Amino acid sequence: MDEQMAALADEISAAGGVTVLTGAGVSNASGVPTFRGEEGIWNNEFDPADFRMDRFERDPAGFWTDRLELHERMFGDVTGPNDAHRALARLEDLGVVDVVVTQNTDGLHAEAGTNRLIELHGNNARSVCVECGESVPTETALDDVRAGNSPPSCPVVGCTGHLKPDVVLFGERLPGGAYDSARRMAWESDVFIVVGSSLTVAPASTLPEEAAERGQLAIFDTGETEKDHLAHYLVRGDATETLPALVEAVQARLGREADARGVENVTQEG
């Protein structure tokens, strides 16, 4: 087994708190397209300006018509959670990971079984009424748009608000509660693990800096990130392979601990 992976497995198994921050890289293997970079959809297919908060406020009907197209491109080919999502859920089950903080809005961590989850940028599967806060499945809102009713309106009788995807749009502030919780977790963690995030988008990109001051920082990515210089562990490779390898290393360690306890018990009984 990789020495670094074994060392990290030891570190997180013994740690008092472990927080994981994930970005788009975790979902690529599930068929969610890349947003940024040369191959990203913002660079080639869609104009981010069409999806800004001020566009939504100015022209909600046009926003939703464009959003339908974006939604189908983003989620049309999604195959469900992949081995990286499942590995993180497993690390929670093993009592090693305390919380997953994600920049993704695809809902795949929850689908994979992660329970303690902070979705920093919201969840695309939900839409909310801008007037009363009623939550509606986005598919329902999109069906309205498909039927020519754009913008989709709130289903609550007597409410005249329209719906907005329950995600943080460009030019919109992050929900304070989610970010504050994530920040507190980063600060309180002995180990902070970043997976598949280029760490270029503030304020999430500042979390690893704060975490590295307090504890150990591990970065899992296929390429370089903005915070590599702060990392105590740098794991290169596809997260669908590196995270299952980490699970294996943690399980090997837990197995050795169980064996050691078994030996003690035998000794005491003898």
Q: Which two tokens stand for residue 132?
A: 């009363």
* Residues present in the chain in total: 270
Task: Please confirm, yes or no, whether 121 is among the known catalytic residues.
Answer: yes
Least distance to Zn ion from the beta carbon of 163, Å?
8
**Which tokens in the block code for residue 170?**
């460009």
Of residues 129, 141, 168, 217, which one binds Zn ion by CB under 5 A?
A: 129
Sheet containing 163-167: give its strands across: 135-137, 122-129, 163-167
For Zn ion, the closer of residues 129 and 207 by Cβ is 129
Element (H, E) at 163: strand 163-167
Out of 11, 134, 210, 226, name the contact with Zn ion by CB under 5 A. 134
Q: Residue 132, interface with Zn ion (CB under 5 A)?
A: yes
**Which x/- pattern over 74-113 shows residues binding Zn ion (rule: CB under 5 A)?**
----------------------------------------
Given the complex with Zn ion, which of 152 and 196 has the nearer CB atom? 152
Instruction: Please identify, among the stretches 27-35, 112-120, 152-160, 241-249, the one whose residues bind Zn ion according to the rule CB under 5 A.
Output: 152-160
231 to 3, 216, 220, 247, 254: CA distances (angstroms) = 16, 7, 10, 20, 25
Contact region with Zn ion (CB under 5 A), list: 51-59, 104-112, 121-129, 192-200:
121-129
Which residues fall in the annotated binding site for Zn(2+)? 129, 132, 154, 159
Q: Which tokens is 199 given?
A: 């760490």
- Total residues at the site for Zn ion (CB under 5 A)? 8
**Binding-site member from 53, 70, 125, 159 for Zn ion (CB under 5 A):** 159
Two structure tokens written together for 63: 């926003």
Write down the catalytic residue from 121, 162, 229, 232: 121
CB of 158 to Zn ion, least distance (A): 9
For the bound state, the minimum distance from the C-beta of residue 164 to Zn ion, rounded and expressed in Å, comes to 11
CB 86 within 8 A of CB 4: no
Please give the sequence-ordered ranges of beta strands (E in DSSP) within the chain, or none if there are none. Answer: 18-22, 99-102, 117-119, 122-129, 135-137, 163-167, 191-195, 216-221, 233-236
User: Which residue in 244, 267, 222 sits closest to 87, CA to CA?
Assistant: 244
Residues belonging to the active site? 121
